[in-house]
Structure 1
Amino acid sequence: MDIEEMQAIWSQIGQDLEKQKKITNTLVMKMTQERYANKFSKLATYETLGAFICFITALVILLNFNKLDTWYLVLCGALLTGYFITLPALVLKSLYTIKAIKIDVTSYAVTVKKYVKAKNKLMLVQQLGVYLNFVALLLVIPVFSKLFKNKDVFVTPNTIWYWLLPVLVILMVLVSRWGYNCYKKITNSAENLLKELEDIEV
C-alpha cells in the first residue's frame, strides 16, 4: 500500500466520521427538541383546562349580567368577565409561544435570544396573574353573591365573608406561590437544556 492509497483511506475514514458526527448531532437535536417541548406540555394541558373553565365562567356571568342591577355590581361583573377572558388568553399565548420555539444550533445565539424573550414574557404574565388573582377574588364575592343568591354584599354584608375571605387570601397566596415556582423551575430547566447544545455543531 503506497502513501496515496493510505491518504485516500484516511480521507475516507475522516469523511465517514464527519458524516457519523452530523447524524449523531442531528439525532441529539431531535431528541432535545422533543424533550424541550415536553417540558411545557403538562403546563399547556393544565392551563388549557383552566382557560376553558375561565371562559365558561365568563359566559355564565355574561348570560346572567342583567341580574347585576347597580352600577358597582355592573362594574365588578365587567371587570371579572374581562379577567376570566383576558388573563387565560395571555397565559396560553405566551406558553404556546415558548413551547413552539424551534431549536436551531446553526443559529444558537438567535435561539437562546428567542427563548429568553419568550421566557421573560411568560414570567411577566405569571407575575401579573398573581396580582390580578387577588383583585379577582374580591370581585368574585359580590358578583357571585348577586348572581346565585340575589344578595348585594355591599348593602347586606354576610358575616361568613369576615372569616372566609382571609382563608381564601391565604390559599391564594400559597397556590400562586406554588404555581409561580413551578413555572420558574420548568423554564430554568428548559434553559439548561438549551445550554447543553452550545458546543454541538450540525
Structure 2
Amino acid sequence: MELEEMKNLWEGMSQRLNNQKTLTDELVIEMTQLKYNSKTNFFKNKEFFGLAVAYTMIGIVIYSFESLDTWYLKTFGIVMIIILGILPLFSIDWVKRLRKIELTKSSYKEVLEQFYKTQKRIKQIESIGLIISPFLFVSSSVFFSKIIGNEDLFKLNMSWALITSIVLIFIGTIYFIIISNKKKRKQLKSIEQLLKELKH
C-alpha cells in the first residue's frame, strides 16, 4: 500500500470517527434534555397546582366579600387577593425560565449561566414568600373565622387554647414552607448535577 493511499485511508477513518463522536455527543445532549425536561416537570406541576389553589381562593374571597362587614375585614380580604394574585405569578415565571433552557441550542457555558440566573431568581422569590407568608396567614385566619364561623377574630375573647392553636398552625405553615423550599433546592441540585455532567 502506497503512502498516499495510507494517508487517504487514515483521513477517512479519522473523519468517520469525528462524525461518530459528533453523533454520540448530540445523542447525549438530546438524552440529557429529556431528563432535564422530566425533572423540571416536577416544578411545573407543583407551581400550576399552587396557582389553581391560589386563584380558587381569590374566587372564594371575591364571592364572600359582602360578608366582610367592617373596613378592616375588607382590608384583610384585599390583602389576600393581592398576595394570592401576584405571588404565584412569580413562581410560574421562574418555572418558565427554567423550562426555556434548551441544551441543544446553547453552549455549555450559556446553559449554566441561564440555570444559575434562574436559581438566583428562585431564591429571591422564596425570600419574598417567607416575608409575605405571615401577612397571608393573618389575613386568611381573619377571613375564614368570619366566613366559616361568622366570628370577628378581633372581637373574640382570646383564650389560651385559641391563641395556642393559632400559633401552632402558624408554626406548621412556616415549617411546611421551609420543607417545601428544601425539596425544591434538592431537585434544583439534581438538575445542576445533570447539567454539569455534560462537560465530561
TM-score, scaled to structure 1:
0.91
Q: Report the equivalent of 2:120.
A: 120
The 3-state SS of whatever aligns with 2:151 is coil
Deviations 1:49-70 (A, max 9, x none): 1210111011110111111121
2:30, 2:104 within 8 Å by CA — same for their partners in 1? no
- Distance in 2, matches of 1:143 and 1:198, equals 53
- Distance in 1, matches of 2:21 and 2:84, equals 50
- Distance in 2, matches of 1:123 and 1:150, equals 38
Structure 2: gaps of 5 or more residues: none
- Distance in 2, matches of 1:106 and 1:153, equals 55
Q: Which amino acid is 1:32 matched to?
A: T
Residue 171 of structure 1 deviates from its aligned partner by 1.1
RMSD in angstroms over aligned alpha carbons? 1.7
Q: Where does 1:174-185 land on structure 2 (aligned, <5 Å)?
A: 174-185=175-186
- Distance in 2, matches of 1:98 and 1:80, equals 28
Q: Where does 1:92-131 land on structure 2 (aligned, <5 Å)?
A: 92-104=92-104, 107-131=107-131
- Distance in 2, matches of 1:5 and 1:119, equals 55
Q: Which amino acid is 2:190 matched to?
A: S
- Distance in 2, matches of 1:104 and 1:31, equals 10
The 3-state SS of whatever aligns with 2:193 is helix
1:146, 1:152 within 8 Å by CA — same for their partners in 2? yes
Deviations 1:151-194 (A, max 9, x none): 11112245353121121122123211211111111112212222
TM-score, scaled to structure 2:
0.92
Residue 148 of structure 1 deviates from its aligned partner by 2.3
Q: Report the equivalent of 2:72.
A: 72
2:33, 2:104 within 8 Å by CA — same for their partners in 1? no
Q: Which amino acid is 1:42 matched to?
A: F
Deviates most, 10-19 or 164-173: 164-173
> How many equivalent pairs are there?
199
- Distance in 1, matches of 2:171 and 2:145, equals 21
Q: Report the equivalent of 1:132.
A: 132
Q: Report the equivalent of 1:3.
A: 3
Residue 104 of structure 1 deviates from its aligned partner by 4.6
Residue 41 of structure 1 deviates from its aligned partner by 0.8
- Distance in 2, matches of 1:35 and 1:19, equals 24
The 3-state SS of whatever aligns with 2:156 is coil
Q: Report the equivalent of 1:172.
A: 173
The 3-state SS of whatever aligns with 1:151 is coil
- Distance in 1, matches of 2:63 and 2:111, equals 45
Q: Report the equivalent of 1:161.
A: 162
Deviations 1:7-35 (A, max 9, x none): 11111100000000000000000111111
1:102, 1:111 within 8 Å by CA — same for their partners in 2? yes
Deviates most, 156-165 or 60-69: 156-165
